[in-house]
Chains A and B, each alone.
Chain A
């Protein structure tokens, strides 16, 4: 609780984020910036990612009653939208949208948390510290994607009847009642990989570590990696799709499919979606 510490952090907070060069290997602000590219054209909506997330991140199964009341804790959910001008039948299929925490650079949730339980890490993640959280739920109010999930019930006492608790991942906490939680890009995996890499005096290699959803996805629709490293696949994809992390309005060719959701609100998300393609002549 030193004043210097506060002031240092404060000045970092007060900067406009993301600033140019923040995630640049040459500038050395940060060695990592985790980002995703999600191809909606090959996402089949199969929910493998959701289940993998339940397995990896100790998500409670809430049951029918509570699901009905909106207490589902799926950190990643598959949304299904029909086209707005649909005729008698949805003749061009439907649209699936996997939605998880977008790890915004200028995250609306971070500024409003009274205790700083959610804040930005150096590698561009929007961290959520369960033990600091007092449950004011302001972050959820301010999240435009509504991907923050509050523990309205004491799930540890109900969601894992013995011996189901043996399945729990010891690398992360089981959240008790009264705290907010959300997708972390499987930070426990990232931390492990980063620590291993540092021990070997190198950076984390591309593809060395991926979140559970990316690892499970049967169609490889999600690409994950360190966007600071220009040779990583995800950085190449962002560049190829002409999506710039630092811009709130992209100037790109109409044939390119990259976009970020609700960019106009300027949260600068770390997840690039790639547009669904439909053969209009079919």
Chain B
């Protein structure tokens, strides 16, 4: 063990005033007493540890992929709270509720505290020695496992753990590293590549005067919600920008829009082309747009667009005139645009507006190129899961590892993932808590949570330059029988390539060496140790990189949208909108009480799933709030309570994702329903990704009803009180404000 590593862990171990202060106060000691309680003084603490005062350590939030820099508040050796790290450009010192819940992941009462092995049909605790022996027996060098017989499924990863994982796969000579995210940006990336020539351009919300967002819930669930929220705040300051949101179901971003337009899911591209048609009537655009696009666009006059999209025809011209008046603007597309069989085409049609309006270079430009491409995140995709699933189904695997993903929960039922997984002879899951996937595995290894672990992360979306966020433990491991994922990976690699890795006894020293290697790039002049400690206390390393070149040319010459996306289906008349809840995402943190009890912003519902239905539709079907509905697709049926919600298209039904766990502990199990189950096998044509929004459903009233548990009372307006006052933008003088 390296010297500083011991110190670090040791001083986290100091008890401070532990023991006594652990008791729940308020119902504990209420008298003046002597000699009843014990004080444990520190043995040899760091100088800055004063009992009774908090210490803040910089780290990285791993609750979603945004990799916000955070500070953990530590008292007496326990991490109490997460705050934003002001040094981080991504978080800017702020944090969302999902990030706050990291401490609840850490102290979760249902955390897995020791390795488990499948005996018969149930998981039984075993010791780490036995577990590692088993792991070695099945996948170690002596097991004779071949590269193609081994699969490793992970969630999106970045930083040095990703590097180690790649090296491990390399040492096994396996190419079966599957990076899977249930809510992956893969379609968006494909569309971006076609329009801009890069995976992910940088979006300047703050510079735009008008944002036209087609279903992009950038404030709630986007690539970097905390950063986008900060940008949004600047966008709303004088001169105040206008937000137009076009989507089938009102997201949180839609709730903040100046103009919200309901649209039939999948027809956003048509609407965008209709806008383009109106725009191109301005003589300024003559000759700037390729002829084939002009041709294509000219078919979409306002009435046609209105017929296809279900939006009032004058709104097409209205949005077009807004785009014409307010420059620079920014047009973005989101999940509800992309999750269709023609998702890429749809998104390209939307992004085309940026090209027509010349926004590239103004509100859209390139992200910095990372000088360390190996640290960059591996983007997750559904096709990875599909490939793995097929191989599993064909019995090609002898062993699979699963880390950072819960495919048994998130895979649609038509895939038969659970059954295929069961065919694999040896399945290992690395988890914090027993989830649905871990329950199916033969060996379940409890790993450190993000607040106990060292690591490095590079975010998918980089605001400025490249930010490498450093993750350091905020407290010593809570349970003795948990281990660092980094250490496990390092040991696995060492088992195969002992020589190359012998310099590093543990992942900490590996990471430290690796980080110190960055030193020359950031032109740090002091010693290595100083650099390391500076980095730890800062929590971030900022590296400059040349910006990627974003193409301002029209690349989408073969744009083709389906003639009519608005097809009628007599059996399944409704479009299913599986909406992403901003603190649930794909449901991996549903076992945090705080998140369960944090009301959904639009409906204020807690602890449940619900089906949003438009008042008009509800009235025609005689549905009231709280009625149990049967929502059926070709692949299954969900029973869920109705919530009558005006912010949804009358032909759409929206059920939030992330709930409906069959496992994952007391706070998640049995709460709500899982819409992933009933998705139809509709795939995006260009990328092969699952089209999340491509499922049609039928709705049937069961006749039963139950109270919907929500924060909202029986009325949802202000009843004449002056609670929230709205001021027209032309009256407000934001420029005079401070």
Q: Do A and B touch directly, given a CB cutoff of 8 Å in the complex?
A: yes
Interface residues of chain A, those whose CB is within 8 Å of chain B, are 40-42, 44-48, 50-52, 54-56, 61-64, 67-68, 72, 74, 77-84, 86, 88-97, 130-131, 154, 156, 159-170, 173-176, 212, 215-221, 233, 236-237, 240-241, 254-257, 259, 261-262, 273, 275-282
A236 with B255: CB separation less than 8 A: no
| A217 shortest CB reach to chain B, Å | 7
Question: Which of B140-148, B407-415, B697-705, B726-734 faces chain A?
Answer: B726-734
- 29 examples of A-B residue contacts, CB within 8 angstroms: A44-B232, A44-B253, A44-B256, A51-B598, A61-B593, A67-B597, A67-B711, A86-B646, A93-B255, A95-B718, A95-B726, A96-B724, A97-B724, A164-B107, A164-B593, A165-B24, A166-B478, A167-B78, A167-B80, A170-B75, A173-B25, A173-B26, A174-B27, A218-B225, A218-B233, A219-B230, A276-B727, A280-B730, A282-B258
Select A55's contact among B81, B253, B262, beta carbons within 8 Å: B81
Residues 233-250 of B at the A interface (beta carbon under 8 Å) = 233, 236-237, 240, 242-245, 250
Q: How far is the CB of A70 from chain B (nearest CB, A)?
A: 9
Report whether A47 and B583 are in contact in the complex, using a CB–CB cutoff of 8 Å: yes
**Identity of the chain B residue whose Cβ is nearest the Cβ of A238 in the assembled complex:** B738
| B493 interface residue (CB < 8 Å to A) | no
Given contacts A64-B606, A173-B26, A262-B721, contact A82 B646 (CB under 8 A): yes
Contacts of B666 in A (CB 8 A): 161
B223 close to chain A: CB less than 8 A: no
Q: Give, as a whole number of angstroms, the nearest-CB distance from B233 to chain A.
A: 4
User: Is B83 at the interface (CB under 8 A from chain A)?
Assistant: yes
Which 8 residue pairs across A and B have the least CB separation, nearest first?
A: A51-B97, A61-B593, A218-B229, A64-B607, A173-B26, A219-B233, A95-B724, A279-B258
Contact A48–B95 (Cβ < 8 Å): yes
Binds A, one of B98-106, B117-125, B294-302: B98-106
A48-B94, A257-B727 given; 20 more Cβ-contact pairs under 8 Å: A40-B724, A47-B583, A54-B100, A61-B596, A81-B717, A81-B724, A89-B646, A90-B250, A93-B256, A164-B109, A164-B593, A165-B24, A167-B79, A167-B107, A170-B25, A236-B738, A240-B736, A275-B724, A277-B726, A278-B726
A17 to chain B minimum Cβ distance, whole angstroms, is: 23
A89's nearest neighbour on chain B, judged by CB, is B262
A177 to chain B, nearest CB (A): 9
Known contacts A78-B599, A280-B729; decide if A176 and B84 are in contact (CB<8 Å).
no
B84, B262, B594, B595: the one within 8 Å of A216 (CB): B84
**CB within 8 Å for A156 and B723 given contacts A48-B100, A63-B607:** no
Most buried by A among B230, B253, B594: B594
Residues 282-313 of chain B, each 1 if its beta carbon lies under 8 Å from chain A, else 0: 00000000000000000000000000000000
Q: How far is the CA of A276 from the CA of B727 in the complex (A)?
A: 6
Q: Which residues of B contact A56 (CB under 8 A)?
A: 81
Residues of B within 8 A of A278 (CB): 258, 726-729
Chain B residues with Cβ below 8 Å from A84 are 717-718, 720
Closest residue of chain A to B602 (Cβ to Cβ) is A80
A114 to B569, CA, bound (A): 66
B97 contacts across to A, CB distance below 8 A = 46-48, 50-52, 216
B628 at the interface (CB under 8 A from A): no
Q: Which residues of B contact A80 (CB under 8 A)?
A: 255, 601-604, 712, 716
- B76 and A218 form a contact (CB under 8 A): no
> Which of B237, B252, B709, B723 interacts with A46 by CB under 8 Å?
B252
Evaluate whether A45 and B731 lie within 8 angstroms (CB atoms) in the complex, with A81-B723, A174-B26, A174-B27 already known. no
Are A168 and B236 in contact, with the CB atoms below 8 A? no
B671 closest partner in A (C-beta): A64
Partner of A156, one of B27, B237, B709: B27
CA of A90 to CA of B614, assembled, Å: 11
A50 and B95 alpha carbons, distance in the complex (Å): 12
From residue B32, how far is it (CB to closest CB) to chain A in Å? 13
Q: How far is the CA of A158 from the CA of B386 in the complex (A)?
A: 42
In the complex, A90→B219 CA distance in Å?
Answer: 19
What are the residues of chain A within 8 A of B220 when measuring CB–CB? 44, 46
**Given the complex, which residues of B lie within 8 Å of A174, measured CB to CB?**
24-27
* Best-surrounded residue of B26, B646, B734 (most CB of chain A within 10 A): B26
- Closest-by-CB residue of B relative to A168 is B24
Contact flag A47-B242 (CB < 8 Å), given A93-B256, A218-B225, A278-B728: no
**Chain B residue, CB-CB nearest to A61:** B593
Contact B230 A51 (CB under 8 A): no
Closest chain-A Cβ to B26's Cβ sits at a distance in Å of 4
Within the complex, which residue of B96, B259, B260, B709 is in contact with A68, where a contact is CB–CB below 8 Å?
A: B709
Question: Can you name the residue of chain B whose Cβ is closest to the Cβ of A62?
Answer: B597
Q: Are B608 and A45 in contact (CB under 8 A)?
A: no
A residues near B27, Cβ cutoff 8 Å? 154, 156, 174, 176
Instruction: Knowing A166-B107, A218-B95, say if A257 contacts B732 (CB, 8 Å).
Output: yes
Q: How far is the CA of A260 from the CA of B701 in the complex (A)?
A: 44
* Distance in angstroms between the alpha carbons of A278 and B730 in the assembled complex: 9
List B13-31 residues whose CB lies under 8 Å from chain A: 21-22, 24-27, 30
Q: Are A92 and B260 closer than 8 Å at their CB atoms? A: yes
Give A243 Cβ to nearest chain B Cβ, in Å.
12
Contacting pair A45 B252 (CB below 8 A) = yes
In the complex, A233 Cα to B243 Cα: how many Å?
28
Give bound CA distance, A11 to B27, whole Å. 35
* A94 in contact with B647 (CB, 8 Å): yes
**A160: B residues at CB distance < 8 A:** 24
Binary contact track B456-497/A, C-beta < 8 Å → 1, others 0: 000000000000000000000010000000000000000000
Give A170 to B24 CA distance when docked, in angstroms: 9
Query: Which residues in chain B, 658-692, are within 8 Å of chain A measured between CB atoms?
Result: 666-667, 671
Given contacts A44-B229, A55-B82, A82-B646, contact A164 B723 (CB under 8 A): no
For the complex, is B378 an interface residue (Cβ under 8 Å from A)? no
Cβ-defined contact, A61 with B107, below 8 A: no
B648 nearest CB neighbor, chain A only: A89
A278 to B226, CA, bound (A): 23
Chain B, Cβ-Cβ closest to A223: B738
Given A51-B594, A97-B723; A219-B259 close (CB under 8 Å):
no
Tell me whether B738 and A237 are in contact (CB under 8 A).
yes
Q: How far is the CA of A161 from the CA of B100 in the complex (A)?
A: 18
Given contacts A46-B220, A83-B717, contact A68 B707 (CB under 8 A): yes
Q: Which of A74, A216, A259 contacts B725 (CB 8 A)?
A: A259
A33 to chain B, nearest CB (A): 18
Question: How far is the CB of A123 from the nearest CB of chain B, in Å?
Answer: 22
| CA of A72 to CA of B710, assembled, Å | 10
* Cβ contacts under 8 Å, B595 to chain A: 51
Chain A CB within 10 A, most for which of B96, B608, B707: B96
Taking CB atoms, residues of chain B closer than 8 Å to A165 are 22, 24
User: Nearest chain-B residue to A51 (Cβ)?
Assistant: B97
Tell whether, in the assembled complex, residue B257 and residue A93 are in contact, meaning their CB atoms are under 8 Å apart: yes
Q: Give A240 to B478 CA distance when docked, in angstroms.
A: 50
Contacts of A79 in B (CB 8 A): 604, 711-712, 723
Q: Does B261 contact A (CB under 8 A)?
A: yes
Do A96 and B259 have beta carbons less than 8 Å apart? no
Give the most central of B243, B583, B606: most A CB within 10 Å: B606
Q: Distance (Å) between the CB of A88 and the closest chain B CB?
A: 7
Does the CB pair A279–B242 fall under 8 Å?
yes
Supposing A93-B258, A164-B104, A261-B722 touch, asked if A170 and B21 sit within 8 A by C-beta, the answer is yes
Considering only CB atoms, which chain A residue lies closest to B110 in the complex? A161
Bound: A215/B27 CA distance, A: 29
A156 touches B729 (CB 8 A): no
